[in-house]
A and B are shown apart, each in its own frame.
Chain A
């Protein structure tokens, strides 16, 4: 039985919006041109592929349902489990159930913590007990773990590459519709296609090989070890992708209507409308971001504590909190975009074509929608991609302070928060922290590189090769935005 969480619903809405945008952009040259510029850069293509891989995992993790139970109910109706699972959980299979007693290192076959056991003779000994699942297929003591890992990893990588080959062949076929197969293959090999498909294919090959190897190994080992209660760290890190993506995208989705409507209105109508809107955003932005977020989340906790009727299960509760967190982050971060839009609109209103529309008696709403909005969209777009990585990083900091996502939600911030104390253990438990580090780095780095390319492609002032001061205020804003200081 499908279940729609609030964040799922908004994510589908966002995807539908992106789909609609692609549909229109493909038809209109001014909209299409900057995007083609993005994909004509190797960096843009490669980082887009990485982001796409993250997005696919996040979307798979956003299709929720309650699985059918084996035995039907009394009246013949099918029965559904109480637990909500996602498609990703199904793909991960029993990885969530294969838990150990406590910590175990990556690829370990034995526990990381000593245990006291009593043998038949009554002697007590301290041993590192064998893990229940990690490397359970290995017989005896003599089996070599590195060899087994290398063999299985290679096999998995080859499987991944086979999938990649199929995709690459499909791409070549699609591309060769116009120029014929041999010419297309040659152009691809020498990186002479108009869009840099070679960079995309190479990136995809790396992802496919790595992914294949990890999927294969995850069936037999704990690839990134287990945490304090024996949960697989790899699974946690992968499940955290959804949280990171949602915070990075939904926040913008939530704040966008406010920023667009108010910013354009302030710049268009001027006068008292401008004064009121300026007062509104000066007031909101003069409260330091972290403090406002902290205060709002504290109040949210109290509110949710006193309104248990808003949610039925713990999953829904965590989801609701994630949604509210996105809203709160959105409220604190729309002011920067609003200010930029106001300034741009002030400039546009003076231009001849707007004046002409005005003189011809076109209504205010129509001028704003048809003549101003399309011409400020590049600012919105640059801001969205710039904010994304800042928001993903902010989630970690907020979860550490204790005003982030629900403690039961898988997120990199919660992983870091838990791992903080493990660093002072002796011997040190480093793998949960390392897992969060690498997953976050991959996502944020790809987002940052992509944002750079997008900004260069969309900013009209950069194209002439003169100064690029136009983006610097937003950049500074994005960094200081949620108080990573």
Chain B
């Protein structure tokens, strides 16, 4: 087990180097710092001097890989590649284009992101599993068919409509909660309740349908028939056997996205003005702050790889038949 985890962690290193190379290619080779500077400065103020100043200020004025002007190891360290890409590998994200420390910002903004993402995940799981079990209880009846049709219908609506509609109904029409904003501490509840509800409702269609398939598959297995044959009530069968075994794929599916919860949700946070990492990324995209986007891409990959590793481990925990080797 330990050997497996260590091997997986070692395998993560080339993957992260690959991610880093892709972002480096994307941000420095497809477009040179010159062209980025020209874009950022706008058409009017583009002079060679202004571009040089912009690059020098952000450290883009050095060679890519090899700095002949320096001596010793500095020939390799005082380059764009080392400064902007290799440092990121050590979680040293440097400063954003407007001079703030990215690491500091990320730490500050993780809290609100989690405060939104965790309740959405938990409430969503509870609601969707309940609905899916209900559909399985009424399987092969009109209620089941109607439920599935409703799920497909809900799935076909863009998440943007859930947000806009929810904000309009709850915030503007009924004046129940503030439409957007955030304040730290327990006050945040009144800001978070609407995005959590909308996030849960928006996910019902796809999730319930997929959980229903899992439970139905479980309900068709031999041991469930045995349980019924020995006289267990349908409810007992559902809760004791179907739910318990159907939860395995659900929980392992949740484990993959657990680390990614730190990144928050892009659209939710920007619509509701929650100062998490999702809105941080959106702001960076809109401001064209490439340093932040680079950092978030790297962070996202690290978290995703951790998620995959956790999934494999959790498989062995819930299902002893699976051995990692």
Q: Which residues of A contact B (CB under 8 A)?
A: 279, 282-288, 290-292, 294-296, 298-299, 301-303, 305-306, 389, 393, 396-397, 400-403, 412, 416, 419-420, 423-424, 428, 433, 437, 440-441, 444-445, 448-449, 452, 466-469, 472, 475-476, 479-480, 483-485
Contacts of B23 in A (CB 8 A): 295
Most A C-beta atoms less than 10 A away, residue of B161, B167, B257, B293: B161
Contact mask B122-165 → A, CB, 8 Å, 1/0? Answer: 00000000000000000000000000000011011111110010
The interface bits of chain B over 267-290 (1 if a CB of A lies within 8 angstroms of the residue's CB, else 0) are 100100000000001100110101
Complex CA distance for A430 and B32, rounded to whole angstroms: 44
Q: Closest residue of chain B to A300, judged by CB?
A: B30
Give, as a whole number of angstroms, the nearest-CB distance from A124 to chain B. 32
Which residues on the A side are within 8 Å of B153 (C-beta)?
445
6 closest A-B pairs by beta carbon, nearest first, are A283-B18, A288-B300, A445-B156, A444-B156, A306-B35, A467-B217
A423: which of B168, B214, B294 is its contact (CB, 8 Å)?
Answer: B168
Instruction: Identify whether the interface residues of A are mostly helix, strand, loop, or mixed.
Output: helix
Instruction: Tell me if B63 counts as interface (CB < 8 A to partner A).
Output: no
> Chain A: which residue is nearest B23 at the CB level?
A295
Contacts A294-B285, A302-B39, A472-B210 known; A286 to B304 CB distance under 8 Å? yes
Give the interface centre of B31, B210, B288, B297 by most chain A CB atoms within 10 Å.
Answer: B31
CB distance from A180 to the nearest CB of B (A): 37
Q: Does the CB pair B301–A484 fall under 8 Å?
A: no
Interface of B is mostly: helix
A-B contact count (CB 8 A): 143
**In the complex the two chains form, is A283's CB within 8 Å of B253's CB?**
no
B55 at the interface (CB under 8 A from A): no
Is B197 part of the binding interface, using a Cβ–Cβ cutoff of 8 Å?
no
Interface size on B, residues (CB 8 A): 57
CA of A472 to CA of B211, assembled, Å: 10
Complex contact B164–A397 (CB within 8 A): no
A400 to B285, CA, bound (A): 12
- Interface segment, one of B84-92, B182-190, B232-240, B258-266: B258-266
CB neighbours (8 Å) of B270 from chain A are: 401
B15 on interface, CB distance cutoff 8 Å: yes
Report whether A397 and B160 are in contact in the complex, using a CB–CB cutoff of 8 Å: yes
Whether the Cβ atoms of A287 and B22 lie closer than 8 Å is yes
Contacts of B214 in A (CB 8 A): 469, 472
Complex interface: chain B residues within 8 A of A416 (CB):
158, 160-161, 164
Contacts of A287 in B (CB 8 A): 19, 22, 297, 300-301, 304
Q: Are A448 and B35 in contact (CB under 8 A)?
A: no
CB distance from A373 to the nearest CB of B (A): 28
| B106 contacts the other chain (CB 8 A) | no
**Do A291 and B296 touch (CB < 8 A)?**
yes
Q: Give Cα A472–Cα B155 distance, bound, in whole angstroms.
A: 15
B172 contacts A393, C-beta separation under 8 Å: no
The 8 A CB mask of B210-223 against A (1 = contact, 0 = none) is 10011001001000
A420 to B164, CA, bound (A): 7
B305 at the interface (CB under 8 A from A): yes
